[in-house]
Amino acid sequence: MHLRLALFGLSLLLAAPVLAQPEVWYPLDRDADGVYGLSLAQAYAELEGLEPQRTVVVAVIDSGVDVAHEDFAGRIWTNDDEVAGNGLDDDGNGYADDVHGWNFIGGADGRNIEYDSFEIAREVAALRARFEGRDVDALSGEDAEAYARLQEREAELEERREEYAQIVATLEGILPTVQAADAAVRTHLGRDAYTADDLAGINSPSAEVQQAKQVLLFLDANGLTAKDVEEQLDYVRVRLDYGLNPDFDPREIVGDDYDDPSDRFYGNADLHGPDPSHGTSVAGVIGAVRGNELGIDGIAPNVLIMPVRAVPNGDERDKDVANAIRYAVDNGAHLINMSFGKDYSPEKSLVDEAIRYAEARGVLLIHAAGNDGADLETTPNFPTRRLGDGTDARNWIEVGASTPDASLAAPFSNYGATRVDVFAPGTRIYSLKPGNTYGASDGTSLAAPLVTGVAALLMSYFPDLDAAQVRRILLDSAVRYAEVEVVRPGSEDGETVAFGALSATGGVVNALEAVRMAKATLN
């Protein structure tokens, strides 16, 4: 579930109904199915008679992955030089027991970070400590400038806290009505699970049941359930209690020398973490086993997922992101999926160096554009392709989220005429969930791994293509809709723009066209 309510406010969420669509729509084809998907069946038909030529290793830097999921059988990367559970660094890479990947936000004692603060809260905390007990009226020079920044950041932090507090109050106000409606319908139907068709079919003389029906149908029309509203409330409360709390700092769990950027060898081998829901869904669309009659078919046929845990519930830290990229590169990843982002990057140079490190070794990075309905030309979502020296990394694809219909641009997706490369399906994406379960989620977090999956498909069937060629094929083969007028993401008044103004290509990634172009490139 994409948390649009927390990002945009209740009015926008309730003004953006979700159209009916197949449960798994993103592999479908516009011409054959009337759905603006990836044309995946058509791509595999184009590949008929060919066989995958290599196994592609895809690092998923995320919140964690349920590597024991039934639909990942045989699809998790294994470090063959490491002996599981012996507490030793058998292969000498600096990470003991990294049999299937590594966790940079865990401690050697087995504990893990679940929640972390936002960068703005960390900055406020650091600046407060700097000026604690000092006569602020006597400050001058750099100290005076830093104190002025503290005041600005404290005001911004308080504004954001007030915004979230207002959302909490709104949700707390509507939640009892939603819960009562849910309980009334379950009692009327005599079961806990029900569908929109079940709701529409309710015919009761009870005014309470009829009112409950209307409340839940209204939620369903906007792609929500009673459970979603509860989760929205939990989400915003976590932001207030942890993310926007300058007094919260869980870093002691990790036990690294946080101020030493050269300190790379910390963490633990727990790839699951407290909540691997996000990472499991991301990895699922890339590499879930194809043709096993379970859950979904991942996009790529011959892929191994390398989980690298570096993303807490809060802002990921630049040091962890940089080390996660380096770990993935050093351990043989061909592709790195990064479905995370934040507003500020205080140690951006560390991440930039890691990006260059990956570029020099031919590793392609795919990054989610973010879900704020913002223009990345003016509002960056870190990490970014634009490096500190003003140049752009050439091994980067920035991905926005598209819809199954001609509306094309998901209302929550970030965009940017030069900062976003391409769009890919990103609404109600059905994938894996922890504990051998399955479900749908929204977000550019799911759009990015769909692109990663197509990249892995190309690399598997056409191993002579390097990362730069794969990037160029994915962008050049995207199906263009540049002239189509769409509602600008984040717009509260329905403002329309040309879809081509939202990304560099004005297109949606398409597996069939990518395969065709790959074949032509090598012929």
pLDDT in tens, 71-83: 999 999 999 999 9
As a whole-number percent, the residues of the chain with pLDDT over 70 amount to 96
Could you count the other beta carbons within 10 Å of the beta carbon of residue 28?
21
With a cut of 60, say whether residue 18 has pLDDT above it: no
pLDDT in tens, 383-431: 999 999 999 999 999 999 999 999 999 999 999 999 999 999 999 999 9
The residues spanned by each domain of the chain are 51-115+260-508, 119-243
With a cut of 60, say whether residue 273 has pLDDT above it: yes
As a whole-number percent, the residues of the chain with pLDDT over 90 amount to 93
3-state secondary structure of 59: strand
Overall average pLDDT of the 210-237 stretch: 91
What is the side-by-side order of every strand in the sheet holding 479-480?
A: 102-103, 303-309, 56-62, 335-338, 364-368, 396-402, 422-425, 507-508, 479-480
42-76 in b/e burial notation, b at 16+ Cβ within 10 A?
Answer: bbbebbeeeebeebbbbbbbbbbbbbebebbeebb
Assigned token pair, 18: 């979700």
With a cut of 50, say whether residue 30 has pLDDT above it: yes
Overall average pLDDT of the 221-240 stretch: 90
Amino acid 3: pLDDT? 38
- CA angle at residue 197 from 213 to 187, to 5 degrees? 45
The CA–CA distances, whole Å, from 101 to 55, 75, 172, 343 equal: 17, 13, 40, 27
pLDDT in tens, 327-367: 999 999 999 999 999 999 999 999 999 999 999 999 999 99
Residue 45: which pLDDT band, with cuts at 50, 70 and 90? very high
Residue 224: which pLDDT band, with cuts at 50, 70 and 90? confident
Considering only residues 15 and 455, tell me which one the structure prediction assigns the higher pLDDT. 455
Cα separation, 462 vs 363, in Å, equals 16
Residue 312, classified by CB atoms within 10 Å of its CB into exposed (0-12), middle (13-18) or buried (19+), is buried
Cα separation, 443 vs 410, in Å, equals 8
End-to-end CA distance of the chain: 43
Amino acid 240: pLDDT? 96
pLDDT in tens, 462-474: 999 999 999 999 9
Considering only residues 196 and 11, tell me which one the structure prediction assigns the higher pLDDT. 196
pLDDT in tens, 450-463: 999 999 999 999 99
Please provide the DSSP assignment of 361-381 as one string: TT-EEEEE--SS--BTTTS--
Residue 17: which pLDDT band, with cuts at 50, 70 and 90? very low
Residue 278, classified by CB atoms within 10 Å of its CB into exposed (0-12), middle (13-18) or buried (19+), is buried
Overall average pLDDT of the 196-213 stretch: 95
Residue pair 398/443 in contact by the 8 Å Cβ criterion: no
pLDDT in tens, 134-192: 999 999 999 999 999 999 999 999 999 999 999 999 999 999 999 999 999 999 999 99
Residue 222: which pLDDT band, with cuts at 50, 70 and 90? confident
| Class (C level, CATH) for 51-115+260-508 | alpha beta
With a cut of 50, say whether residue 68 has pLDDT above it: yes
With a cut of 50, say whether residue 20 has pLDDT above it: no
406-418 in b/e burial notation, b at 16+ Cβ within 10 A?
Answer: ebbbbbbbbbbee
With a cut of 80, say whether residue 223 has pLDDT above it: no
Overall average pLDDT of the 44-48 stretch: 98
Residue pair 273/112 in contact by the 8 Å Cβ criterion: yes
Residue 22: which pLDDT band, with cuts at 50, 70 and 90? low
- CA angle at residue 407 from 336 to 60, to 5 degrees? 10
Residue 10, classified by CB atoms within 10 Å of its CB into exposed (0-12), middle (13-18) or buried (19+), is middle
Amino acid 523: pLDDT? 82
State the residue for tokens 């409950």.
212
Cα separation, 143 vs 141, in Å, equals 5
